[in-house]
Structure formats: C-alpha cells, structure tokens
Amino acid sequence: MSMDKIEGRNPVMEALKAGREIDKILVAKGAAEGSIKKIIGMAKERGIPVQNVERNKLNEISESDNHQGIIAMAAAHEYSSLEDIIEASKGKDKEPFVLLLDEIMDPHNLGSIMRTADAVGVDGIIIPKRRSVGLTAVVAKTSAGAIEYVPVAKVSNLSQAIDKLKAAGFWVAGADADGKQAHYEAKLGGAIALVIGNEGEGISRLIKEKCDFLVKIPMVGNVSSLNASVAAAVFMYEVLRQRISK
C-alpha cells in the first residue's frame, strides 16, 4: 500500500485515533453505517473532508483490493501551522516571504511549486483544507525533496489566513491577469505574501478582494494563461530578484 492511502475500516479508524495527518476520506455511497458512520463522525470532529463516491471509484484507486468501502488519503509529510510559519519567517536574517495557494488541485503543480519555493527561500506555503491537493506521495516525489524543507500549513479559511498575515505585517500580492502592474514593475519588498490561483479559474473573487494589490505576467502570445507552477515560479523569482538587487 502506498504511503498516502489507508484502506479498510480498521486501518482508517486506527489512523484517526493515532492523530495521523489525513487530507480527506473517500466513502462508497451507501456504506455509511456501523464503523464507517463512526469514522465519519471522528473525521468531522477533526475537520477532515469526507467525500461520497461510487464504489467503482474506490475499486480503481485501491491497491489492497480490500478497501471495505473506505479509503483515507493520508499526508505524505506532517503539516505545520500558520502561526509557526509566521513566527519562523520573522526569525531569519531576511524579509519574510510566504505563498498562499488558492485551490491548486494538481499534485504535480504543488510539487513543482514547492521545489521552486525552496530554491528562492520561501518561508512556508499555505493551502486550504478543501478543494486543494494535500501533501500526497505524488507531491513529495515531484518536489524532489523540497517537501522536507518548505513548511506547509493547511487552513480552514484562506481569507482568515490572509487577515492573520496582514496583522503580522505582511503585504498580500495576488497573481492575476487583472493586475494593473507587471510583476517586474510592482514593489515586492518587505514581508510579502504571494497568492497564486488555481489551474483554471485563477484566484477566487473573495481572495482577490482581500489582496492589497494584484500583479500580472505580460502575455503577448496566443495562449491566455500559464501553468500554475510556471506562473508561480516567475513571480517567486521576481521577488528574489528584487531582494538580491538592492
């Protein structure tokens, strides 16, 4: 069984009791009875998303052929807290720099973003609990080891996380096509929190309104957008460029 899947009722139950980091739990439709009902209750107490899916879906992703109607997707690495990331970022001899990822769903994108984040000195990454890929084995592999060095916090509400960052002295910049300034024109110094939107829709309306300002990457070709990890890399290296060119 791969490190990011826990299959079967007893294994999932014991993982919850042990406090294992779990991103979400998949339950076969019509199977929410007995021990599974208890598991769902425990998951809700911990704020772990539970999704009802067709049994065929579980059959497809199962590696044990004995999932018993339930599979938990466990984190391949331990999460940090938002507070720990903020505190650690201010204890270094450089300006704080964090990323907020708004509904990044592709594990390869998250892994690639983590790899670049490590290269440019990002202090931590913040992701939402729902509608976001977590620290899966695919993310760990794609990060090429960066998962060991870049803390990731999973929060219930990304908007509230932005409020906490602002209270801690961060400026929040959103990467968005509606930005009035190109990434190389904007001042990205000081304590900066950079928001990257998802692969299709970009930054959500509510999160966009929370940003202090929006910045864009000039596009002169026929394709209207970049892959999320590529766009994130462009913005992250601009932050680094401005810092080292002072």
Average pLDDT taken over every residue of the chain: 90
pLDDT of residue 182: 92
Q: What is the pTM of this model?
A: 0.81
Q: CATH code for 82-244? A: 3.40.1280.10
- pLDDT tops 90 at residue 207: yes
Residue 91's pLDDT band, with cuts at 50, 70 and 90, is confident
Residue 179's pLDDT band, with cuts at 50, 70 and 90, is confident
pLDDT of residue 227: 86
Q: Where are the domains of the chain?
A: 5-74, 82-244
Helix (H) or strand (E) holding 109: helix 107-120
Three state DSSP letters for 187-206: CCCCCEEEEECECCCECCHH
Domains 5-74 and 82-244 agree in fold: no
Span 128-173, pLDDT tens digits: 988 888 888 888 889 988 999 999 999 989 999 999 999 999 999 9
**One-letter identity of residue 222:** N
The residue among 207 and 32 whose pLDDT is bigger is: 207
Whole-angstrom distance, CA of residue 29 vs CA of residue 55: 7
pLDDT of residue 115: 95
Helix (H) or strand (E) holding 114: helix 107-120
Whole-angstrom distance, CA of residue 79 vs CA of residue 154: 7
pLDDT of residue 33: 82
Least confident of 76-90, 95-109, 221-235: 221-235
Least confident of 2-11, 68-77, 81-90: 2-11
Residue 1's pLDDT band, with cuts at 50, 70 and 90, is very low
In CATH terms, the fold of domain 5-74 is 60s Ribosomal Protein L30; Chain: A; (3.30.1330)
Mean pLDDT value of segment 64-74 = 88
